[in-house]
């Protein structure tokens, strides 16, 4: 291999990190425009990191197994929400409440993840769009259970949770009992910025788990399946089973992530919270420089910081710039979707370009010989 010049190196770096660099530019303009103080921004960003990281990490495992971005993580979010509804109903507060909600969500997540994995195995080659539709489909079932089943079929004790008509859960559930209980555990302040060490510890633990998981036999099998299903199958790896496992793990983690997310917010929008979460998590991960084919822990952290910094400053920046906060809000929605679109397009285009390379080599070869 010949050495690349510095200029080429910079160009290649920029080509491989287009999305994060674009965000740095947006933020570089947005932050001064918004006029927020650094302390305020730091506090907000820290809070967003603690709130969202767990959810985003749940996307990593299916990417490892070559199944792309798991838009079906909403299934886990639903399971987490059902866990929270029950623990709220039972009146269990604080960290035990969070733990119990996680425990309740686990079997649900496993079941949903297994089903989702099964369906995705039937739709190889278009996992992403299928997982995205699965999210919508399951939302219907979720509504059926929560809006109609809870009350008459599934006992709910607390009347505060039920709609006035006597069955179905209210549109918003107050999570006051567990609100910020994990965040406030071991909370410290550095220069006026509150840091929820408890939540950070959980996130650190999760990160270590992911890194460890990649070293296990199952992690290695997923890597093999992700690179080439047929080669993995020929070597005796159970491809379908491995893919289902990756979705189950993702779904369970998404369930936990949703519980941590909602505990930070403090209220559950019973019929809306889970729908948006997939899109925001995917966008944040991609902003961090991940692609459909590869994602690492550092992409998660970089993504969460960049994406949410943009999210925080854009309404204010819009207001200062044009006089309309609404504009900034639409802008950030546009950017979120734009990022996902760009990443998906880049992924497909790169895949194609690699195929076209061998012909060029052949032509060059011939020029040399003739």
Nearer to other proteins, 193 or 344 (CB): 344
> Taking CB under 8 A as the criterion, which residues in 252-311 touch other proteins?
none
Min CB(279)–other proteins separation in Å: 8
Q: Per CB under 8 A, does 204 bind other proteins?
A: no
Q: Per CB under 8 A, does 136 bind other proteins?
A: yes
Interface residue with other proteins, options 216, 267, 272, 276 (CB under 8 A): 216
Q: How far apart are CA 47 and CA 56, in angstroms?
A: 15
Q: How far apart are CA 147 and CA 167, in angstroms?
A: 7
Question: For residue 194, how many other CB atoms are within 10 A of its CB?
Answer: 16
Q: Per CB under 8 A, does 227 bind other proteins?
A: yes
Nearer to other proteins, 137 or 185 (CB): 137
> In this structure, what are the phi and psi dihedrals at residue 72, rounded to the nearest 5 degrees?
-75, 5
Q: Per CB under 8 A, does 129 bind other proteins?
A: yes
Contact segment (CB under 8 A) with other proteins among 32-40, 97-105, 169-177, 320-328 equals 320-328
Distances (CA, A) of 82 to 10, 90, 210, 283: 49, 12, 25, 25
The token duo for 92 is 């269990």
Q: Which residues contact 216 (CB under 8 A, 6 or more apart)?
A: none
Q: How far apart are CA 332 and CA 227, in angstroms?
A: 34
Helix (H) or strand (E) run with residue 188 in it:
strand 187-190
Are the CB atoms for 268 and 85 separated by under 8 Å? yes
Interface residue with other proteins, options 21, 99, 119, 197 (CB under 8 A): 119
* Positions that interact with other proteins (CB under 8 A): 119, 122-126, 128-130, 132-134, 136-137, 139-141, 143-144, 147-148, 212, 215-218, 220-221, 223-224, 227-228, 230-232, 234-237, 322, 324, 326-327, 330-331, 333-334, 336-338, 340-341, 344-345, 347-349, 352, 356, 358-359, 362-363, 365-366, 369-370
């Amino acid at each position: 291999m010949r050495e690349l010049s510095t200029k080429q190196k910079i160009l290649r770096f920029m080509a491989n990190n287009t999305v994060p660099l674009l965000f740095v530019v947006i933020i570089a303009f947005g932050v001064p425009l918004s006029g927020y103080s650094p302390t305020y921004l730091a506090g907000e960003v820290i809070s967003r990191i603690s709130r969202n990281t767990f959810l985003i990490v749940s996307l990593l495992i299916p990417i490892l197994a070559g199944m792309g971005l798991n838009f079906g993580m909403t299934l886990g979010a639903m399971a987490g929400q059902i866990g929270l509804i029950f623990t709220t109903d039972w009146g269990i507060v604080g960290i035990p409440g969070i733990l119990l909600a996680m425990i309740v969500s686990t079997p649900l997540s496993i079941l949903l993840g297994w089903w989702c994995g099964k369906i995705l195995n039937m739709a190889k080659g278009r996992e992403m769009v299928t997982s995205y539709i699965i999210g919508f489909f399951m939302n219907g079932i979720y509504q059926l259970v929560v809006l109609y089943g809870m009350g008459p079929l599934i006992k709910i004790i607390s009347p505060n949770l039920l709609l006035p008509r006597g069955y179905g859960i209210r549109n918003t559930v107050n999570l006051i009992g567990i609100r910020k209980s994990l965040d406030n555990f071991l909370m410290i302040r550095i220069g006026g910025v509150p840091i929820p060490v408890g939540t950070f510890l959980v996130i650190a633990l999760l990160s270590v788990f992911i890194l460890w998981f990649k070293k296990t036999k199952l992690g290695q099998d997923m890597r093999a399946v992700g690179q080439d299903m047929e080669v993995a199958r020929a070597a005796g790896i159970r491809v379908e089973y491995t893919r289902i496992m990756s979705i189950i793990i993702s779904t369970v983690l998404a369930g936990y992530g949703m519980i941590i997310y909602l505990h930070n917010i403090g209220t559950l929008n019973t019929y809306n919270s889970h729908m948006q979460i997939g899109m925001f998590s995917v966008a944040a991960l991609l902003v961090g420089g991940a692609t459909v084919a590869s994602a690492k822990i550092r992409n998660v952290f970089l993504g969460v910081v960049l994406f949410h910094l943009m999210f925080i400053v854009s309404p204010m920046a819009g207001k200062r710039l044009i006089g309309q906060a609404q504009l900034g809000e639409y802008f950030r929605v546009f950017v979120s979707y734009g990022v996902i679109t760009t990443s998906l397009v880049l992924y497909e285009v790169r895949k194609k370009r690699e195929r076209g390379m061998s012909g060029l080599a052949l032509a060059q070869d011939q020029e040399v010989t003739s």
